[in-house]
A and B are shown apart, each in its own frame.
Chain A
């Protein structure tokens, strides 16, 4: 190690240039990285809801649903100007790339047919082939809508005061923003004083996540500045300001570069991962920096070295002492994160690889670039003329912690136990619920649009019930149709379900129309032949593709679309449980019902992500424990390293429970970040304590000493990173960032204080052999 360091300092210029070249290379690779949401890389493909959803998409073409509502300020929709808007919006959407033409629903869509009947006649005609111009035509349209209730609450509101255009989009390269960007100008052209136009649906929210997440572009630099300022306050030196941040910044760049170069997708859920790398990297940098200052001042006091010589020697000595600890801690953490590649969900894998690479990059930088630069900088002033501003507070805190650890250990354990009980009680209150709507402030314009649409129409979210028989024509069985109808009525009886649509609605309507439009025949015919003949009749009167989104070509599978007013995963999971209990054996043998749709899909994602992230936390914990145990050759040491981590994670969940922050995809990601930080602190403290005990210090003195050195560095880093994350509190409108600021900030501070208090306290209480071995 020492030979390496001597070599490094001789070759510092090539090393610095080399590092900078690698950084330029990494930056050039970072260009290939884009933050997008690709559901296919995030979704658990084997989850039944996701599998069914994929199947519904494949068979019926349904995908990314956008709802546009046009509501006249005065009167109902039966005004030529309002209908013309619907016609123009529909027409332009049909020409927009990415729109699934066959699935567009609106008054003017060709497949939206008016089924009508008289005593001896029957007809199927487009509902609004031509724009009604006079009162008689408007009345006819109103009558047609009232005769075909299947369109109420879907393309027109029940009160006939809002008309909707429902468009579905294919996944495209531009993500969800491209979909919304296509629709926005089309509806903006139709906005005027006479109408309100609303845009809703899941793609709107997902595109907002994409947009708001890109705030990281300036929030991250701002966080860096805050971290730098806090560290400057702590060390009162430009080195303190610049070097940790440079290391952290370069580590992030290297990580991003590796991601870009290897083509690993960077999804939106990993947009916050750079901050974790920043926290870990600056943690190491500050430990080294702190030790460097300690060594430098020791050398100046105890030797005859000139400042330049002392500077150079301090660079070597500090790395000799801290380097192995840093490598140990870094490798343990990196292995913990790399172990996440075993996860099925790609975003967890990406998180693991990205963080692992970032930590390794930080290690490499701290062993090459940072010492090389440090040896070039002017030596620090001998003794601070005045204690830096941050020291006063830090010293007092450290002294207080020392008192607790040494003198009031019983009360400390009591307090921690109390905190754990409180956190444990909070965990029981944690609600698991994922809802895109809950990620944003209520008052934002797109939230208002969504609320307006859900209040006026069936709903902007979907649940699919896919009915599948054992062979072709299974859907024509009246028993199957009866069961489907029962499912629809059941769903419609639940709150938040605004509308259901299926082939059953058409068959009932045809039965009525073919029987002189008698309301008594608004029912499913008892004979399978008649069902078949109605379907043939409709296919003769309509067009071949009219039913493509309701039933497949062989009449083996049918789709019930339920429009939901909420996108809450907790709600939909309960709904699905109720539905499955209701369905039981209602369908004939061989006919199955399975669930898909955007809300169930998001519930699946939530289940898998939350479950996956909890497992991920457990897995990192296990790896950290195992490797620490190996490094210290003591199972107990492994447990000791885990203590601050476990406390931080428990407090994290406890806080969520008590504050009402939901356990959803973004917050579960945050918890996983918390786990990455705590172990480092413990490892630094344990190594330093062992070192000091090895130097023959009395345990109590050693504890006070390490708290003032390594401990103070931990305190600096934790408060700097917590303050840096605090910047995210200013991400207006976006709860994901705000939750992150709160949860990460708390996790940083809790894991720091847990490490500072519990590691020395437990060591003093239990005097484990792996620490005291070196003493004896």
Chain B
């Protein structure tokens, strides 16, 4: 009881401090919250080219078609990624249904096997469909699981940015996210991340991600999306470039899209 009381006091104090600071500029938690929400579009369809590049410059290029739909809670997404090329993987589909409070669901469909397989919940630190982005990077790291500190302001690619350093609240968060530290450059005008740096669990520099060609995709809800995403692993020198084309939102994407039954349908 005394614990609950103390905690309540702390939360109050934190809120007060936050609102005082807000007189000048938003509190760092608010920045991160806005940042977390800025790409949560209601739904989307897009073509994307995934280019994976190893340290010797060899490339694997994959064309995909993707749809997303935000769930009722406004946080969790359903994401379907269908591979279009190269031809030997055409028709392979992955379906991710995020759950903020429990493990995500992932299904995979292999056309050559003609079977859908459910994959065990992956760690947030695992690679997102073989790229240098982790599931955590794509879904977004929950704001309240990290301690954020505004450590400066810089202008990057012509946009004034907040520079925020985030540390995991505890070792479990560190281990599940795979990061002992994150640092993000977040645009002041729209809260979109333009650059992020990551340190691995042992505290070694792990990767650097950059986000380009940031477009407003939903003016009403203030949603923005980078059309070009790059990430490089500094330890393996492996790089990923994701280039979106025809990124459209509010397309009334049907729930049916996100079922295992639909995965098996040839497009």
Contacts and interface: CB of A to CB of B under 8 A. Distances in A.
Interface of A: 94-95, 101-102, 116-117, 120-123, 125, 473, 476, 514-515, 525, 527-530, 532-534, 536-537, 539-545, 548, 552-554
A186 to B, nearest CB: 16
B163 interface: no
A553 B58 CA distance: 6
B238 interface: yes
B110 A553 contact: no
Given A121-B120, A514-B115, A553-B54, A533 B126 contact: no
Contacts of B236: 102, 544-545
Given A125-B120, A476-B88, A532-B89, A543 B127 contact: yes
Contacts of A533: 88-89, 92, 110-113
Given A533-B89, A533-B92, A553-B58, A541 B119 contact: yes
Taking residues whose C-beta sits less than 8 angstroms from the other chain, chain B's interface range is: 35 or more
B126 A541 contact: yes
A366 B92 CA distance: 83
B113 A514 contact: yes
Q: Which 5 interchain pairs have the tightest Cβ spacing?
A: A539-B130, A530-B112, A532-B88, A123-B120, A553-B58
16 contacts: A102-B236, A120-B117, A122-B120, A514-B113, A525-B112, A529-B89, A529-B111, A533-B88, A533-B112, A536-B130, A537-B92, A539-B130, A540-B130, A541-B119, A544-B127, A554-B58
Contacts, number: 94
B83 interface: yes
A514 B54 CA distance: 28
Contact of A122 (B56, B118, B130, B240): B118
Contacts of A125: 120
A532 B111 CA distance: 11
Given A120-B117, A473-B88, A529-B88, A540 B110 contact: no
A543 B132 CA distance: 8
A531 to B, nearest CB: 8
Interface string B73-96: 000000000010010110010100
A514 B127 contact: no
Interface in B106-129: 108, 110-113, 115-120, 122, 126-129
Contacts of B56: 553
Interface in B142-175: none
Contacts of B238: 544-545
Interface string B230-267: 00010110101000000000000000000000000000
A520 to B, nearest CB: 15
A528 B112 CA distance: 9
Interface of B: 52, 54, 56, 58-60, 83, 86, 88-89, 92, 94, 108, 110-113, 115-120, 122, 126-132, 202, 233, 235-236, 238, 240
B164 to A, nearest CB: 27
A727 to B, nearest CB: 51
A94 B54 CA distance: 21
Nearest to B260: A120
Given A473-B88, A527-B112, A553-B54, A540 B118 contact: no
Given A121-B117, A536-B83, A552 B127 contact: no
Contact of B235 (A101, A473, A476): A101
Given A529-B88, A537-B110, 19 more contacts: A94-B202, A120-B117, A121-B119, A123-B120, A529-B111, A529-B112, A532-B86, A533-B89, A533-B112, A537-B92, A539-B129, A540-B94, A541-B122, A542-B127, A544-B52, A544-B130, A544-B131, A544-B233, A553-B58
A102 B130 CA distance: 16
A117 B110 CA distance: 15
A539 to B, nearest CB: 4
A125 B126 CA distance: 9
Contacts of A122: 108, 117-120
B134 to A, nearest CB: 10
Contacts of A476: 88
B62 to A, nearest CB: 8
A123 B54 contact: no
Nearest to A541: B119
Nearest to A529: B112
B111 A543 contact: no
A123 B118 CA distance: 8
